Chains A and B, each alone.
Chain A
Amino acid sequence: NAGVTQTPKFRVLKTGQSMTLLCAQDMNHEYMYWYRQDPGMGLRLIHYSVGEGTTAKGEVPDGYNVSRLKKQNFLLGLESAAPSQTSVYFCASTGWRGAYNEQFFGPGTRLTVL
């Protein structure tokens, strides 16, 4: 039982390049989330999904796209990377909403955009 895994762990991009971050969970969770974490800013929600085939915008969605084609996977795409997207990206999943929304986090992806 691996929990939540993220690929890759580190990446350096040049401005304008594109990439996809992969999140996978083996807990059969319905809800999945992508966050970015910057110093002093806490975790900010980029996009989330409430089930296979669904996606929704979070607090800071601009410059990112997501897809949830399979229940266990949630992909985050950067079409044209910008230095402002340098951050640590965390994926999380949970099986519940409201009261029991304990989110399980992956180990993070450290992205640098030059």
Chain B
Amino acid sequence: QKEVEQDPGPLSVPEGAIVSLNCTYSNSAFQYFMWYRQYSRKGPELLMYTYSSGNKEDGRFTAQVDKSSKYISLFIRDSQPSDSATYLCAMIEEYGNKLVFGAGTILRVKS
């Protein structure tokens, strides 16, 4: 079993839809949770960053962490074609120096 599980998709939605992307993990020592966005043929870039449990909102994006269930989510409101990309969850321990990534979910937003 992988440390971090993420459905690779692809997930295809119409423009304006609410998108929900999820990851589960098994290592209870993970304390920091991130979402990276990767456009085609580019390197990943940090999108959202959350500490421990709770929510964080940034514009149309909301990241949620439920440590009791070992489950994290990224919600995208009013999705746009420009949101089409691969979204990778990543997590790290308190004093860790290695991120552990999920497989990435391919998202396609159709206009």
Q: Could you list which residues of chain A lie within 8 angstroms of chain B, going by C-beta atoms? A: 4, 31, 33, 40-45, 48, 50, 58, 90, 92, 97-99, 101-103, 105-108
**A45 surroundings in chain B (CB, below 8 A):** 98
B59: interface (CB < 8 Å) = no
Determine whether B101 belongs to the interface, using a CB cutoff of 8 Å to chain A.
yes
Residue with the highest number of chain B CB atoms closer than 10 Å, among A58, A99, A101 = A101
Nearest chain-A residue to B92 (Cβ)?
Answer: A101
Which residues of B from 20 to 74 have beta carbons under 8 Å from A? 31-32, 34, 41-46, 49, 51
B96 touches A98 (CB 8 A): yes
A43 to B95, CA, bound (A): 21
Interface residues of B (CB under 8 A from A): 4, 6, 8, 31-32, 34, 41-46, 49, 51, 88, 92-99, 101-104
Specify the main secondary structure of chain B where it touches its partner: loop
State the CA gap A23–B94 with chains docked (Å): 27
Chain A residues contacting B95 (CB-CB under 8 Å) are: 97-98
Q: Are A43 and B88 in contact (CB under 8 A)?
A: yes
- Asked if B98 and A98 sit within 8 Å, CB to CB, the answer is no
B103 touches A106 (CB 8 A): no
Whether the pair B102, A101 counts as a contact (CB closer than 8 A) is: no
Cβ 8 A contact of B43, one of A42, A48, A107: A107
**Pairwise interchain contact B8-A40, C-beta atoms closer than 8 A:** yes
Q: Which of A40, A42, A101, A106 is B97 in contact with, Cβ under 8 Å?
A: A101
Q: Identify the 3 closest CB pairs spanning chains A and B, nearest first.
A: A105-B43, A42-B103, A97-B97
Chain B, residue nearest A6 (CB) = B43
Q: Is the CB of B101 within 8 A of A101?
A: no
Of the candidates B34, B41, B97, the one whose C-beta lies within 8 Å of that of A108 is: B41
CB contacts (< 8 Å) of B97 on chain A: these are 31, 48, 50, 97-98, 101
Given contacts A40-B8, A108-B41, contact A102 B98 (CB under 8 A): no
Contact indicator A98/B94 (Cβ below 8 Å): yes
